[in-house]
Amino acid sequence: MKSDKRLRRSIERELRSDPTIAVFPIGIEVGDGIATLRGHVRTFEQKCRLHDLVKHAGCKAVIINVQIEPLDLDEDSNVQNRHELRNAPL
């Protein structure tokens, strides 16, 4: 089994490789082959994806202390406005 230091690097690499997860600051602690993640994501699917990515890195167990914080209405409308502007005809 990998050392905790190598396991942490593998987890960081896995999280950076996924564009839906890489945008979130996720804290990683590893001890005795057990990874603990802390932070925030936007959806339940992203939270589940974290678990899959970390297990793929080779952990014995994963503890996900990650909160789901959906976009608020103002953020959501800003995202929609940016999308509309980007796709508007010239």
Contact 38, 64 (CB under 8 A): no
Q: What is the pTM of this model?
A: 0.73
| Tens digit of each residue's pLDDT (9 = 90 or more) over 16-57 | 999 999 999 999 999 999 999 999 999 999 999 999 999 889
What's the CATH number for 4-86?
Answer: 3.30.1340.30
CB atoms under 10 Å from CB of 20, counted, come to 13
| Nearest partner of 10 among 44, 65, 53, 66, judged by Cα | 53
**Domains in the chain: boundaries:** 4-86
| Tens digit of each residue's pLDDT (9 = 90 or more) over 59-70 | 999 999 999 998
